[in-house]
Amino acid sequence: MIKIKFEKEINKAVAYDSNTKIGECAFIEEGKYWNIFHTEVSDLYKGQGIAKRLVEEIIKNAKMICSPESKISCEKSSFRFSSSYFFPPIWRYIPSFHPR
């Protein structure tokens, strides 16, 4: 079973299969912004929605930790996906978000 763990001390959400790390999503705090700059999932696990779950974990925690006016952004060029997997833009998850 795949588990997603938010690790605030290292600014990442990490995916584990048992005790094996299989993916991560990293962000940088920039004032009121959390900028997701890297998302990667092991080739053996691509196409299962793990990257989406990693990003959603960061969004969930940003809403709990930050003020309501905080924003989340992402660098689309840093995402790595298999050709069969489409990841919708982050602003579809946050109605108040506008890409920079």
Which residues of the chain have a pLDDT value below 70?
Answer: 67-100
- Are 39 and 76 in contact by the 8 Å Cβ rule? The answer is no
The structure tokens listed for 76 are 């689309």
Q: In this predicted structure, what is the pLDDT of residue 80?
A: 39
Taking the model in full, what pTM does it have?
0.70
Give the whole-angstrom CA distance, residue 76 versus residue 17.
26
> Residue 12: beta bridge partners?
7, 26
Q: Which three-class secondary structure state does DSSP give residue 12?
A: strand
Tell me which H or E stretch contains 65. Answer: helix 50-65
Instruction: Say what the pLDDT of residue 17 is.
Output: 96
- Tokens found for residue 1: 């079973």
- Whole-number pLDDT of residue 78: 43
Q: What is the pLDDT of residue 72?
A: 62
